[in-house]
């Protein structure tokens, strides 16, 4: 086991929504006590009190309760967790001011319990020579629960393709291209390993070559540091994935309910025809364990695959002849997939709760975490939910006792159906988007060793992590521990912990960032990446992500959970109570300058050849405007009493980066700085992608120029948001 490997509250984004609105001018009541309330700042003794009351044993018991049964979205187990959340948040002594359920009718995909998906090897006479496991091996009673869903690829179409097997590495476009140069892929079944490309992409990229079905597995090299034996090496002996473990997942590209793009999925809402959905597998695909993958891959014929394609198996990874080698018992055999997934429209619930603000009740800080899992989901997502419940217990008690009420309102969200594509949180933002006065927030997360977010939030994460002890390290703070594992040198601050960027759509922050333009963060305690190559904790999306696993191998004393609860709560209190919002725009400027400094050498000379100016104007000028406005605002914050105005400037900064027309080909992406990008460059995403496409002559230089105008205009606008009023 890895010493530093701790929990990842993977999806526990603390979303801090600050509404546009504002509270009292206190006209009739403008007496002394009102003025005192209005001017009240964060109470550090209250922060101390909060930190001391967070209790790891409560978190442990929360997790035990949440993971009693599998709670995949819309199942009976999911409903049990809905009831649990409502009961806790409506508790008269330690609940919130109000809690309720919000339902959406959403498009999901499930295997058929009566007709399980099958993967077999059949000889030319159709005799079955080998059958892959349909369920994961049982080590604790958890895996034996009848409600454990069979491993499957959600949104894979049903179908029964068969064909000669080939190995396609990670299923990237370049992988299929290379493979097709040696092997005729028409009618084949491709086996791929997780990583390198999105889940759905492994099938989407295969289809143009005539591949008829795809398998996907987790290679022991990518998750287990090569270890494969459950006799001594893997769970239940360690945190590593057992040979029969299978990562489930949603095989789609867009986020939110796929039948109601940009609309809240209510009963009467218009739905697009299912045939119009894009970004899902066009051919059947099924995930299997590495135990089965080993049996298939090591028997493949054909030429040896390149070194980079090799995983952890102790055999040669061949391309496939196509099919198996002549010396194999599977010689001349086909691999057959029998997939019986069905799509259904079902009600999924978000559970929402609120602590009302005292001075600015119409501004919101949102703290959210998804509730649904694939199986028991002890780490993903229940570690986050157990922390959120402890946090609301401590804060709720203070509110009920009358010892505290935040300046701004805090909304808590327990999102449904995240695993199927961030559905609950995205539908929430589609509602909220038409309730635009709520449509601002910055989302933060339960900071420690690993944090991503808007650069402007870096400062408050640092502040909070310095006040929380690192789990198991005595007087060392989370901050001091963090900087050892991930750091960078800032031009303004010197060496500091590295806060990542929230690019793409990895979790529930996506709709808040990309659709609403709300400053957000996502934070977790994670493991020491210098000691393992695991790309994620090994039980991710398997039947082994259980209370047993979490309490034995991830966080035995629940002290990391406790540290995260303390950090997240600390950030939350600061965002809810600070007179001036603790957002630092100069740190945002530093990130934009980094982007610019990456972009100029990459693109400038080629763009100049196209007659498009980039380096000096207008992009460089826009970034300089932003820096200058940020510096000025820093001074104003130090000297001014215009608190309300400043807070609005801080709050609205990310909104200025939204442009609904910036990414005409990318569903629901509007944020010009943080949108997803396929170019893989640490710079402005739309510019990088447009440039890459123009070079490949897929796109045009005019589109690069167009995006450059959009981008420069957005940054100038953001600078203007920070500038003084006219």
Q: Active-site positions?
A: 418
Neighbours of 568 (CB within 10 A): 31
Of 597 and 617, CB closest to a copy of itself:
617
Of 264 and 449, CB closest to a copy of itself:
264
Site for a copy of itself in 160-179 (CB under 8 A): none
Site for a copy of itself in 607-626 (CB under 8 A): 613, 617-618
Q: Are 447 and 568 in contact (CB under 8 A)?
A: yes
**Among 166, 191, 200, 263, contact with a copy of itself (rule: CB under 8 A):** 263
Of 244 and 260, CB closest to a copy of itself:
260
Q: What residue has token string 């080998």? A: 130
The tokens describing 428, both together, are 């929430």
Of 379 and 718, CB closest to a copy of itself:
718
**Among 93, 181, 268, 307, contact with a copy of itself (rule: CB under 8 A):** 268
Stretch that binds a copy of itself, among 315-323, 392-400, 448-456, 655-663 (CB under 8 A): 655-663
Q: Is 98 in the site for a copy of itself (CB under 8 A)?
A: yes
Of 81 and 647, CB closest to a copy of itself:
647
HSE (side-chain half, CA atoms, 13 Å) at 492: 15
Q: Are 413 and 367 in contact (CB under 8 A)?
A: yes
Stretch that binds a copy of itself, among 158-166, 377-385, 475-483, 635-643 (CB under 8 A): 635-643
CB contact set of 609 (below 8 Å; sequence gap of 6+): none
**Among 35, 76, 304, 315, contact with a copy of itself (rule: CB under 8 A):** 35
Is the CA virtual torsion 476, 477, 478, 480 positive or negative?
A: negative
Q: Are 179 and 157 in contact (CB under 8 A)?
A: no
Q: Is 649 in the site for a copy of itself (CB under 8 A)?
A: yes
How far is residue 519's CA from residue 516's CA, in Å, rounded to a whole number? 9
Q: How far is the CB of 273 from a copy of itself (least distance, A)?
A: 8
CB contact set of 463 (below 8 Å; sequence gap of 6+): 570, 574, 582
Q: Are strands 189-193 and 165-167 parallel, antiparallel or unpaired?
A: parallel
Closest among 161, 495, 546, 508 to 375, alpha carbons compared? 546
> Rounded to 10 degrees, what is the CA torsion of 142, 147, 153, 158?
150
Residue 655 to residues 276, 411, 483, 638, 722, Cα–Cα distance (Å): 30, 20, 31, 24, 12
Q: Is 198 in the site for a copy of itself (CB under 8 A)?
A: no
**Among 2, 46, 602, 643, contact with a copy of itself (rule: CB under 8 A):** 643
Q: Is 264 in the site for a copy of itself (CB under 8 A)?
A: yes
How far is residue 499's CA from residue 454's CA, in Å, rounded to a whole number? 9
Q: How far is the CB of 720 from a copy of itself (least distance, A)?
A: 4
Stretch that binds a copy of itself, among 3-11, 26-34, 147-155, 167-175 (CB under 8 A): 26-34
**Among 3, 27, 141, 638, contact with a copy of itself (rule: CB under 8 A):** 27
DSSP state of 150: P
Of 168 and 432, CB closest to a copy of itself:
432
CA 5 to chain centre: 19
Q: Is 329 in the site for a copy of itself (CB under 8 A)?
A: no
Of 342 and 700, CB closest to a copy of itself:
700
Q: Is 42 in the site for a copy of itself (CB under 8 A)?
A: no
Stretch that binds a copy of itself, among 250-258, 297-305, 331-339, 713-721 (CB under 8 A): 713-721
Report how many residues bind a copy of itself under the rule CB under 8 A. 73
Closest among 370, 353, 366, 354 to 12, alpha carbons compared? 370
Of 198 and 618, CB closest to a copy of itself:
618
How far is residue 393's CA from residue 659's CA, in Å, rounded to a whole number? 39
Stretch that binds a copy of itself, among 305-313, 377-385, 386-394, 636-644 (CB under 8 A): 636-644
Site for a copy of itself in 668-707 (CB under 8 A): 702, 705-706
Q: Is 266 in the site for a copy of itself (CB under 8 A)?
A: yes
Q: How far is the CB of 647 from a copy of itself (least distance, A)?
A: 8
In a 10 Å sphere around its CB, with 0-12 CB exposed, 13-18 middle and 19+ buried, how is residue 474 labelled? exposed
**Among 21, 274, 329, 473, contact with a copy of itself (rule: CB under 8 A):** 21
DSSP-assigned letters across all residues of 273-317: -GGG--SS-SS-EEE--HHHHHHHHTTB-SSBPPGGG--S-SS--
3-state secondary structure 197-222: CCHHHHHHCCHHHCCCEEEEECCHHH
**Among 411, 447, 451, 623, contact with a copy of itself (rule: CB under 8 A):** 411
CB contact set of 707 (below 8 Å; sequence gap of 6+): 662, 686, 687, 690
Q: How far is the CB of 718 from a copy of itself (least distance, A)?
A: 8
**Among 656, 687, 688, 694, contact with a copy of itself (rule: CB under 8 A):** 656
Site for a copy of itself in 337-396 (CB under 8 A): 354, 356, 361-362, 364
Q: How far is the CB of 401 from a copy of itself (least distance, A)?
A: 22
SS3 323: coil
Q: How far is the CB of 552 from a copy of itself (least distance, A)?
A: 41
Site for a copy of itself in 433-452 (CB under 8 A): 433-438
Stretch that binds a copy of itself, among 7-15, 44-52, 547-555, 650-658 (CB under 8 A): 650-658
Site for a copy of itself in 529-568 (CB under 8 A): none
Q: How far is the CB of 93 from a copy of itself (least distance, A)?
A: 22
Q: What residue has token string 């300058």? A: 593
Beta pairing partners, 98: 354
Q: How far is the CB of 411 from a copy of itself (least distance, A)?
A: 7
**Among 300, 445, 478, 710, contact with a copy of itself (rule: CB under 8 A):** 710
Q: How far is the CB of 276 from a copy of itself (least distance, A)?
A: 10
Of 115 and 437, CB closest to a copy of itself:
437
In a 10 Å sphere around its CB, with 0-12 CB exposed, 13-18 middle and 19+ buried, how is residue 602 labelled? middle
CA 554 to chain centre: 20
Beta strands across the sheet bearing 521-524: 442-445, 13-16, 521-524, 450-453
Closest among 101, 80, 74 to 90, alpha carbons compared? 101
DSSP-assigned letters across all residues of 618-631: SHHHHHHHHHHHHH
**Among 655, 666, 671, 681, contact with a copy of itself (rule: CB under 8 A):** 655
Q: Are 138 and 230 in contact (CB under 8 A)?
A: no
Q: Is 712 in the site for a copy of itself (CB under 8 A)?
A: yes
Q: How far is the CB of 365 from a copy of itself (least distance, A)?
A: 12
Of 25 and 115, CB closest to a copy of itself:
25
Of 206 and 704, CB closest to a copy of itself:
704
Stretch that binds a copy of itself, among 127-135, 386-394, 427-435, 490-498 (CB under 8 A): 427-435
């Amino acid at each position: 086991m890895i010493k530093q490997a701790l929990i990842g509250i993977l999806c526990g984004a603390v979303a801090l929504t600050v509404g546009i609105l504002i509270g009292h001018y206190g006209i009739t009541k403008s007496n002394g006590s009102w003025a005192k309330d209005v001017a009240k700042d964060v109470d550090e003794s209250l922060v101390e009190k909060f930190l001391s009351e967070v209790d790891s044993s409560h978190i442990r018991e929360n997790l035990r309760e949440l993971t009693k049964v599998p709670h995949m979205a819309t199942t009976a187990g999911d409903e049990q967790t809905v009831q649990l959340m409502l009961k806790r948040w409506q508790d008269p002594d330690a609940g919130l001011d109000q809690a309720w359920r919000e339902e959406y009718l959403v498009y999901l995909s499930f295997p058929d319990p009566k007709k399980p998906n099958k993967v077999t090897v059949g000889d030319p006479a159709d005799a079955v020579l080998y059958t892959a496991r349909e369920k994961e091996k049982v080590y604790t009673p958890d895996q034996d629960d009848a409600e454990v869903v069979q491993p499957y690829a959600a949104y894979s179409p049903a179908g029964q393709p068969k064909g000669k097997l080939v190995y396609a590495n990670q299923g990237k476009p370049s992988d299929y291209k290379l493979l097709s140069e040696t092997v005729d892929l028409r009618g084949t079944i491709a086996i791929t390993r997780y990583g390198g490309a999105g889940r759905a992409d492994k099938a989407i990229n295969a289809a143009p070559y005539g591949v008829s079905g795809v398998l996907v597995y987790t290679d022991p090299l990518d998750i287990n540091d090569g270890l494969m034996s459950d006799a001594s090496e893997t769970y239940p002996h360690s945190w590593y994935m057992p040979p029969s473990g299978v990562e489930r997942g949603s095989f789609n590209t867009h986020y939110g309910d796929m039948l109601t793009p940009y609309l809240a999925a209510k009963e009467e809402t218009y739905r697009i025809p299912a045939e119009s959905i894009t970004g899902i597998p066009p051919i059947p695909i099924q995930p299997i364990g590495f135990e089965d993958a080993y049996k298939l891959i090591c028997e493949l014929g054909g030429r040896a695959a390149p070194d980079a394609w090799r995983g952890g198996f102790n055999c040669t990874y061949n391309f496939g002849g196509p099919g198996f080698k002549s010396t194999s018992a599977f010689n001349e055999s086909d691999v057959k997939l029998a997939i019986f997934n069905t799509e259904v429209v079902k009600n999924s619930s978000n559970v929402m709760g609120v602590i009302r603000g005292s001075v600015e009740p119409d501004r919101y800080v949102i703290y959210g975490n998804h509730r649904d899992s694939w199986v028991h989901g002890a780490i993903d997502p229940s570690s986050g939910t157990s922390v959120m419940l402890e946090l609301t217990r401590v804060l709720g008690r203070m509110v009920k006792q009358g010892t505290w009420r935040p300046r701004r309102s805090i909304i808590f969200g327990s999102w449904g159906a995240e695993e199927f594509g961030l559905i609950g949180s995205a539908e929430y933002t589609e509602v909220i988007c038409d309730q635009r006065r709520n449509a601002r927030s910055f989302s933060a997360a339960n900071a420690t060793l690993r944090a991503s977010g808007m650069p402007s939030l870096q400062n408050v994460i640092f502040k909070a992590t310095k006040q929380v002890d690192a789990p198991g390290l005595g007087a060392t703070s989370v901050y001091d521990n963090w900087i050892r594992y991930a750091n960078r040198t800032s031009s303004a601050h010197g060496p500091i912990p590295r806060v990542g960027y929230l690019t793409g759509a990895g979790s529930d922050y996506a709709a808040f960032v990309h659709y609403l333009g709300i400053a957000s963060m996502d934070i977790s305690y994670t493991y020491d990446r210098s000691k393992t190559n695991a790309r994620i904790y090994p039980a991710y999306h398997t039947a082994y992500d259980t209370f047993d696993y979490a309490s034995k191998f991830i966080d035995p004393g629940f002290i990391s959970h406790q540290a995260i609860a303390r950090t997240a709560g600390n950030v939350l209190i600061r965002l809810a109570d600070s007179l001036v919002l603790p957002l630092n725009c100069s740190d945002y400027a530093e990130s934009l300058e980094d982007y610019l400094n990456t972009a100029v050498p990459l693109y400038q000379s080629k763009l100049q050849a196209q007659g498009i100016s980039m380096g000096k104007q207008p992009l460089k000028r826009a970034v300089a405007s932003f820096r200058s406005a940020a510096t000025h605002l820093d001074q104003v914050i130090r000297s001014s009493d215009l608190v309300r105005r400043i807070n609005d400037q801080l709050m609205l900064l990310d909104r200025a980066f939204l442009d609904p027309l910036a990414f005409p080909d990318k569903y629901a992406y509007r944020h010009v700085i943080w949108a997803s990008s396929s170019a893989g460059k640490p710079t402005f995403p739309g510019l990088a992608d447009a440039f890459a496409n123009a070079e490949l002559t897929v796109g045009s230089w005019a589109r690069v120029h167009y995006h450059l105008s959009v981008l420069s205009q957005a940054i100038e606008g953001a600078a203007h948001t920070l500038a003084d009023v006219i």
